[in-house]
């Protein structure tokens, strides 16, 4: 992988042949995916979803001491408004002196669309510098400037000479892709090109004595970059740091909630540790290519099996397998004892999960381990990383090949139809689709949370206690189920949930 | 040239249009836009509006053609036709309304040509070009109303003198819209009129369809909904008046007198109603007599937000509560004519107060205006500043309030640190609610 020299990264449809419309079973999906003909399917009726600008902001708007410039008409980035007054709370967990979200919208008007938005972009960046003196200015490019052909990179290169903040262009025009996860590539692309590595033009290089250098290299040899995601809570981070420290490793956490300076020496690390391939493959592969840093990418440490796999992969890199096995044995013995009562409680209960491919497959494994039967999954998209995980999941969970697998971000009409047919005891969902399931009366466990723990061994116990609590009284959602109605015709529920997925192109590809 | 805006308190025309349509009973918006537009706007529409949620059809349930690069090259009309056809099959509504995003405007899709093909079907399919770079949420609200008034409201040559329509309270942008519409409807009922508010509790699409027979349109805003009123007058021959959103006794009594006069209600009847309302209102405020005075509850206030609320709260604080709302920051994008109308709605205070009013869209500017109005302490021993002070604004004023160590009551959009269900600030009852909320802040930390 080597896209870093380009100004703009490729979209995931092209880079990973990612699929965004599918309906079948886990077994079908695994087979069809291996044939590589899923990416061309589409929907003839669709509901809205997020875009890569939206997700880019979700991922990196938490950066401390930074100002975002959204180069767009006034509505883009509108999702930030709901976090405007509250995000500071989460930032403060990482740094007491953090300030809240700050962003500037270039407010492109009809005149700008005709005559170009470049002057406004300049104005916005200079205003960000003048008013806030941030350490970095993150510039997000939207659909309109892309279509009118504003020379974003040219202007920002020029502006970089006038401002002291590091300028980071993030090209994330919504219309370019239906796979929102392309956002991760866009953000990392901008960060790697503009923040990683010391800026020797402004700061003199650090000079070390040979002894200091030896000590420094020793430290680097035990340092890992732990890549977090916007949906990861501070408690999640603390649990993973606890486990990595137990293996005598130093941990640097990037990129959500980081400070721009945290990236300067990000290449001084022995290993990049991802918790999600959907999130990080672009970053870790480029870091390997540019700086020779290897990576761990296979799975997210959710549930016992996947936390063990995650730790073993890391340990194997450092040759400390024995130490890791001891840690795993001690942790799992303690945890298994603690979750024993829940297994009896959850035995025979059923669940349905929806969200990112990596997160739902690992969470499904966790719930299976707690005694649940998994009736179905809905992934936001599906690609080669999902393919590997799905295979491992089907090996770990007996009879899972018959469970439903639906692919599509948003598309809650398909979800509503599916739920009316398979009626699980528990619904586990990504934000954005839980309200819909709630109106059908299901108890709901959110797939992630900014204030809760999901990861590592502690995460397993926390998930078990919360699921137990939620199942104990689902009256709120039951009341909604009885007294509200989703905006679909009764006739819709009688149809096949995948009626509006058009996979004629993939069928043609399969035959051809 | 329009300005760049630091932390805008509104989204685009598309966002305003979606918020407006989804607040109509059983109406289904259909987005003809990039796949991300609806998802991007969802947080602003529901999360930032006191957790207003998506109503019947909002959030990720919104049908959308989800155009992407391929459609943008080849045109999106075919995809829109398919989307409308299938939306009518899947989505259960009584009114379908196509709204557009930037991309489809830039590639020149003719949405009206597409929706026209559905004209003779059983279900109404309307369309408005809510192009985002042409205006913000409020513009989207106007466009939707104009389209409804032109194409959905049925002609009614005979007018009903007992029926009026009322709008100007913008769903979502006024976080308390539903409660406020209910209160205003109730007041007009007491004057003897039936009111269509289109978006309030218990309204139906039938009311909207038959609203052409109203004898007067009341726009409760000096900034928003006025263009739509002109359209209504042109198409259905119903005159309109504009007047400020009322909160508390002084605002609401003015409201009743203005509306009553326009409707030809006998002055004695109006004054009688005002007296009755005051008889219910002041005994509640009377309870504060001791605490207000024993503890010296008068405060300086900075009011930040849209023109509807800033003027309403300023009058309430000045004339009902006897406070000193000396600094008002209006954060909306307004034209010169709008600014003049809005400015005129601040004034004629019983208190004789003359607040400083500034127009500024940037959220972080508020700090500067407070410092300018109440100059900062330069280390002097004797010093008079913004103390005791209160800020009434939005959640975006949280940091500012912290900085000045004053309480903040979020009343104007966005609000994400309160949950709002049926609370209302309009009218006499709304004034009591506002008094409860703002004085609770003052006593909470005793």
Task: Give the tens place of pLDDT for each residue, A222-231.
Answer: 999 999 988 8
Chain B residues near residue A178 by CB distance under 8 angstroms: 35, 66, 68
Structure confidence at residue A200 (pLDDT): 65
Please indicate whether, in this complex, the C-beta atoms of B41 and A78 are within 8 angstroms of each other.
Answer: yes
What are the tens digits of pLDDT across the range A162-178? Answer: 999 999 999 999 998 88
Average the pLDDT over B128-140 and give the result: 93
What are the tens digits of pLDDT across the range A328-350? Answer: 999 999 999 999 999 999 999 99
What are the tens digits of pLDDT across the range A441-489? Answer: 999 999 999 889 999 999 999 999 999 999 999 999 999 999 999 999 9
Structure confidence at residue A439 (pLDDT): 97
Number of domains in chain B: 3
DSSP3 helix / strand / coil % (chain A, rounded to 5): 50, 15, 35
Structure tokens at A473: 């009284």
Structure confidence at residue B185 (pLDDT): 98
| DSSP codes joined into one string, B75-98 | -SHHHHHHHHHHHHHHB--SEEEE
Structure tokens at A478: 């039951």
Torsion of the alpha carbons at B136, B142, B147 and B149, rounded to the nearest 10: 170
- Residue ranges with strand state E in B201-281: 214-219, 240-242
Same domain? For B347 and B419 the reply is yes
For residue B212, the distance in angstroms to the closest alpha carbon of chain A comes to 28
Q: Comparing A84-88, A321-325, A369-373, B337-341, which segment has the lowest mean pLDDT? A: A84-88
SS3 assignment, position B114: helix
Residue range(s) defining the domain that contains residue B335: 276-445
Structure confidence at residue B132 (pLDDT): 84
Asked whether residue B411 is domain-assigned, the answer is yes
- Residues paired with A274 in a beta bridge: A227
Per-residue pLDDT band for A363 (boundaries 50, 70, 90) equals: very high
- Domains of chain A from N-terminus onward: 12-16+51-195 (3.40.50.1980), 210-322 (3.40.50.1980), 339-508 (3.40.50.1980)
Structure confidence at residue A235 (pLDDT): 95
Strands of B300-305's sheet, edge to edge?
Answer: B356-359, B324-330, B300-305, B389-393, B408-410
CATH number at residue B204: 3.40.50.1980
Same domain? For B227 and B351 the reply is no
Per-residue pLDDT band for A511 (boundaries 50, 70, 90) equals: low
Asked if the model's pLDDT at residue B270 lies above 70, the reply is yes
Asked if the model's pLDDT at residue A507 lies above 80, the reply is no
Task: Find the radius of gyration of the CA atoms of chain A.
Answer: 23
Average the pLDDT over A129-156 and give the result: 95
Asked whether residue B381 is domain-assigned, the answer is yes
Q: What is the phi/psi pair of residue B168, to 5°? A: 110, -15
Residue finishing a domain among B118, B152, B186:
B152
Same domain? For B238 and B368 the reply is no
Nearest to B416 among A50, A86, A131 (CB): A86
All residues at 6 or more sequence positions from A334 whose CB lies less than 8 Å from its CB, including other chains: A457
- Among B310, B299, B416, smallest CA distance to B360 is for B310
Asked if the model's pLDDT at residue B135 lies above 60, the reply is yes
Chain A residues near residue B46 by CB distance under 8 angstroms: 82
| Candidates A13, A74, A116, A149, partner chain B, best to mutate (most B CBs within 10 A) | A74
Query: Percent of chain A beyond pLDDT 90?
Result: 84
CB contacts < 8 A (A, B): 265
How many residues are present in chain B? Answer: 446
CB B59 within 8 A of CB B42: yes
Asked if the model's pLDDT at residue B196 lies above 90, the reply is yes
SS3 assignment, position B126: strand
Structure confidence at residue A499 (pLDDT): 96
Residues 478-507 of A with CB under 8 A from B: 485-492, 500
Structure tokens at A329: 């044995």
Asked if the model's pLDDT at residue B268 lies above 50, the reply is yes
* Whether this model's pTM surpasses 0.90: yes
Asked whether residue B376 is domain-assigned, the answer is yes
CA distance A426 to A440: 12
Asked if the model's pLDDT at residue A505 lies above 70, the reply is no
Please indicate whether, in this complex, the C-beta atoms of A143 and B42 are within 8 angstroms of each other.
Answer: no
Average the pLDDT over B182-189 and give the result: 98
Asked whether residue B271 is domain-assigned, the answer is no
Same domain? For B288 and B416 the reply is yes
For residue B411, the distance in angstroms to the closest alpha carbon of chain A comes to 13
Average pLDDT of chain A, as a whole number: 93
Structure confidence at residue B420 (pLDDT): 96
Average the pLDDT over A29-37 and give the result: 87
Structure confidence at residue B131 (pLDDT): 87
Chain A residues near residue B6 by CB distance under 8 angstroms: 102-105, 127, 131
Q: How far is CA B338 from the centre of its chain?
A: 15
CA distance A451 to B382: 45
Same domain? For B290 and B432 the reply is yes
Same domain? For B225 and B291 the reply is no
Please indicate whether, in this complex, the C-beta atoms of B1 and A412 are within 8 angstroms of each other.
Answer: no
CB B370 within 8 A of CB B397: no
Residue finishing a domain among B96, B125, B152:
B152
Asked if the model's pLDDT at residue A512 lies above 50, the reply is no
Same domain? For B242 and B190 the reply is yes
Asked whether residue B191 is domain-assigned, the answer is yes
DSSP3 helix / strand / coil % (chain B, rounded to 5): 45, 15, 35
Average the pLDDT over B297-310 and give the result: 98
| DSSP codes joined into one string, A122-190 | HHHHHHHHHHH--SEEEEEE-HHHHHHT--HHHHHHHHHTT-SSEEEEEE--GGG-S-TTHHHHHHHHH
Chain A residues near residue B399 by CB distance under 8 angstroms: 85, 88, 99-100
CB A103 within 8 A of CB B6: yes
Average the pLDDT over B21-30 and give the result: 97
Average the pLDDT over A183-201 and give the result: 89
CB A93 within 8 A of CB A164: no
Residue finishing a domain among B231, B261, B291:
B261
DSSP state of B132: G
Chain A residues near residue B391 by CB distance under 8 angstroms: none
Nearest to B43 among A79, A131, A178 (CB): A79
For β-strands A426-429 and A42-43, DSSP reports them as unpaired
What are the tens digits of pLDDT across the range B364-412? Answer: 999 999 999 998 888 888 988 999 999 999 999 999 999 999 999 999 9
Q: Comparing A18-32, A191-205, B118-132, which segment has the lowest mean pLDDT? A: A191-205
User: Euclidean distance between the first and final Cα of chain B, in Å?
Assistant: 49
Same domain? For B421 and B306 the reply is yes
Asked whether residue B7 is domain-assigned, the answer is no
CB A382 within 8 A of CB A36: no
Query: Percent of chain B beyond pLDDT 90?
Result: 91
Asked if the model's pLDDT at residue A43 lies above 60, the reply is yes
CB A354 within 8 A of CB A433: yes
Q: Give the CA distances from residue A502 to residues A386, A419, A508, B88, B198, in Å, rounded to whole numbers and listed in that order.
A: 21, 21, 12, 18, 38
Asked if the model's pLDDT at residue A218 lies above 80, the reply is yes
Asked if the model's pLDDT at residue A70 lies above 70, the reply is yes
Same domain? For B46 and B148 the reply is yes
Instruction: Note whether A47 contacts B: Cβ–Cβ < 8 A.
Output: yes
A420: Cα within 13 Å, side-chain hemisphere: 21
Asked if the model's pLDDT at residue B8 lies above 70, the reply is yes
Asked whether residue B5 is domain-assigned, the answer is no
For β-strands A42-43 and A501-502, DSSP reports them as antiparallel
Measured at the CA of A429, the angle between CA B417 and CA A359, to 5 degrees, comes to: 110
Per-residue pLDDT band for A510 (boundaries 50, 70, 90) equals: low
Asked if the model's pLDDT at residue B54 lies above 90, the reply is no
Please indicate whether, in this complex, the C-beta atoms of A45 and B34 are within 8 angstroms of each other.
Answer: no
Same domain? For B304 and B441 the reply is yes
Nearest to B36 among A45, A103, A174 (CB): A174
Nearest to A487 among B3, B45, B61 (CB): B61
Asked whether residue B378 is domain-assigned, the answer is yes
Nearest to A51 among B8, B35, B54 (CB): B35
CA distance A11 to A176: 7
SS3 assignment, position A438: helix
Average the pLDDT over B108-114 and give the result: 95
Asked if the model's pLDDT at residue B432 lies above 50, the reply is yes
Same domain? For B113 and B257 the reply is no
Q: Comparing A87-91, A375-379, B11-15, B93-97, which segment has the lowest mean pLDDT? A: A87-91
- Among A257, A264, A246, smallest CA distance to A205 is for A264
Residue with tokens 């919104």: B62
Please indicate whether, in this complex, the C-beta atoms of B64 and A74 are within 8 angstroms of each other.
Answer: no
Same domain? For B226 and B297 the reply is no
Structure confidence at residue B13 (pLDDT): 97
Q: Give the CA distances from residue A45 to residues A59, A173, B67, B435, in Å, rounded to whole numbers and listed in that order.
A: 29, 23, 12, 49
For residue B40, the distance in angstroms to the closest alpha carbon of chain A comes to 5
């Amino acid at each position: 992988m080597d896209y870093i020299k380009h100004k703009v990264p490729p979209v995931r449809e092209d880079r990973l042949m990612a699929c965004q419309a599918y309906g079948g079973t886990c077994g079908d999906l695994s087979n069809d995916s291996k044939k590589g003909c899923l990416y061309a399917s589409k929907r003839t009726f669709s509901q809205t979803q997020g875009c890569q600008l939206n997700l880019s902001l979700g991922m990196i708007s938490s950066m401390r001491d930074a100002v975002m410039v959204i180069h767009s008409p006034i509505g883009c980035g509108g999702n930030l408004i709901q976090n405007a007054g509250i995000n500071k709370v989460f930032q403060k967990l990482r740094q007491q002196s953090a300030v809240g979200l700050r962003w500037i919208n270039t407010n492109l008007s009809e005149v700008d669309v005709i005559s170009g938005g470049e002057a406004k972009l300049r104005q916005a960046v200079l205003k960000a510098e003048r008013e806030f003196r941030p350490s970095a200015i993150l510039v997000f490019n939207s659909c309109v400037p892309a279509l009118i052909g504003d020379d974003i990179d040219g202007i920002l290169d020029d502006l970089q000479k006038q401002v002291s903040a590091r300028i980071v262009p993030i090209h994330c025009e919504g219309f370019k892709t239906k796979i929102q996860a392309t956002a991760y590539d866009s953000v990392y692309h901008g960060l790697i090109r503009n923040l990683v590595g010391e800026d020797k033009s402004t700061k003199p290089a650090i000079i070390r004595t040979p002894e200091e250098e030896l000590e420094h290299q020793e430290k680097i040899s035990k340092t890992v970059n732990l890549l977090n995601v916007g949906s990861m809570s501070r408690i999640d981070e603390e649990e993973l740091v606890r486990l990595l420290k137990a293996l005598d490793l130093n941990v640097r956490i990037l990129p959500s909630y980081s400070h721009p300076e945290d990236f300067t020496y990000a290449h001084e690390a022995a290993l990049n540790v991802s918790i999600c391939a959907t999130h990080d493959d672009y970053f870790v592969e480029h870091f390997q290519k540019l700086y020779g840093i290897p990576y761990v990418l296979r799975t997210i440490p959710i549930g016992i099996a996947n936390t063990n796999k995650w730790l073993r992969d890391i340990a194997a890199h450092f040759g400390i397998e024995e130490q890791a096995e001891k840690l795993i044995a001690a942790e799992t013995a303690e945890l298994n004892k603690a979750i024993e009562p829940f297994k009896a409680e959850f035995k025979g209960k059923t669940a349905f999960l929806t969200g990112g491919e990596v997160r739902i497959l690992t969470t499904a494994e966790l719930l299976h381990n707690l005694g649940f039967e998994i009736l179905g999954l809905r992934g936001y998209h599906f690609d080669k990383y999902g393919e590997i995980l799905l295979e491992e999941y089907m090996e770990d969970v007996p009879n899972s090949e018959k469970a439903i697998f639906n692919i599509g971000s948003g598309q809650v009409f398909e979800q509503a139809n599916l739920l009316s047919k398979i009626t699980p005891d528990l619904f586990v969902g990504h934000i954005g689709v839980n309200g819909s399931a709630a109106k059908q009366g299901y108890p709901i466990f959110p797939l992630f949370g900014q204030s809760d723990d999901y990861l590592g061994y502690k995460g397993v116990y926390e998930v078990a206690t919360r699921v137990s609590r939620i199942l104990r009284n689902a009256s709120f959602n039951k009341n909604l189920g009885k007294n509200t109605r989703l905006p679909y015709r009764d006739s819709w529920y009688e149809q096949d949930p995948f009626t509006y997925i058009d996979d004629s192109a993939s069928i043609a590809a399969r035959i051809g | 040239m329009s300005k760049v805006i630091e932390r805008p308190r509104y989204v685009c025309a598309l966002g305003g249009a979606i918020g407006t349509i989804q607040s109509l009973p059983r109406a289904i918006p259909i987005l003809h836009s990039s796949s991300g537009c609806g998802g991007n706007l969802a947080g602003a529409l529901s999360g930032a509006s006191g957790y207003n949620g998506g109503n019947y059809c909002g959030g990720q349930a919104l049908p959308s053609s989800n155009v992407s690069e391929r459609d943008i090259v080849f045109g999106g009309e075919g995809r829109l036709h398919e989307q409308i056809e299938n939306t009518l099959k899947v989505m259960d509504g009584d009114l379908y309304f196509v709204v557009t995003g930037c991309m489809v405007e830039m590639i020149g899709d003719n949405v009206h040509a597409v929706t026209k093909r559905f004209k003779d079907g059983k279900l109404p399919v309307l369309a408005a070009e809510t192009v985002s770079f042409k205006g913000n949420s409020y513009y989207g609200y106007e466009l939707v109303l104009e389209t409804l008034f032109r194409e959905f409201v049925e002609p009614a040559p005979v007018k009903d003198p007992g029926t009026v329509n009322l709008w100007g309270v913008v769903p979502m942008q006024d976080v308390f819209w539903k409660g406020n519409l209910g209160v205003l409807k109730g007041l007009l009922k007491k004057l003897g009129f039936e009111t269509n508010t289109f978006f309030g509790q218990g309204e139906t699409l039938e009311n909207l369809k038959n609203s052409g027979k109203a004898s007067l349109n009341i726009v409760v805003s000096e900034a928003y909904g006025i263009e739509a009123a002109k359209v209504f007058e042109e198409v259905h021959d119903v005159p309109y008046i504009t007047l400020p959103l009322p909160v508390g006794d002084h605002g609401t009594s003015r409201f009743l007198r203005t509306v009553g006069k326009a409707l030809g209600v006998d002055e004695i009847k109006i004054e009688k109603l005002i007296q009755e309302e005051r008889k219910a209102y002041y005994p509640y405020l009377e309870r504060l007599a001791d605490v207000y005075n024993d503890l010296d509850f008068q405060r300086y206030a900075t009011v930040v937000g849209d023109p509807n609320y800033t003027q309403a709260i300023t009058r309430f604080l000045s004339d009902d509560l006897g406070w000193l709302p000396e600094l008002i920051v209006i954060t909306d994008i307004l034209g010169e004519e709008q600014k003049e109308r809005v400015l005129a709605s601040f004034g004629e205070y019983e208190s004789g107060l003359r607040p400083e009013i500034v127009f500024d869209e940037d959220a972080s500017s508020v700090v500067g205006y407070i410092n300018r109005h109440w100059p900062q302490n330069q280390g002097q021993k004797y010093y008079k500043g913004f103390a005791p002070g209160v800020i009434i604004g939005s959640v975006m004023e949280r940091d500012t309030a912290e900085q000045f160590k004053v309480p903040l009551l979020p009343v104007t959009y966005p609000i994400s640190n309160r949950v709002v269900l049926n609370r209302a600030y309009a009218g006499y009852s709304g004034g009591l609610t506002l008094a409860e909320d703002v004085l609770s802040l003052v006593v909470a930390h005793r």
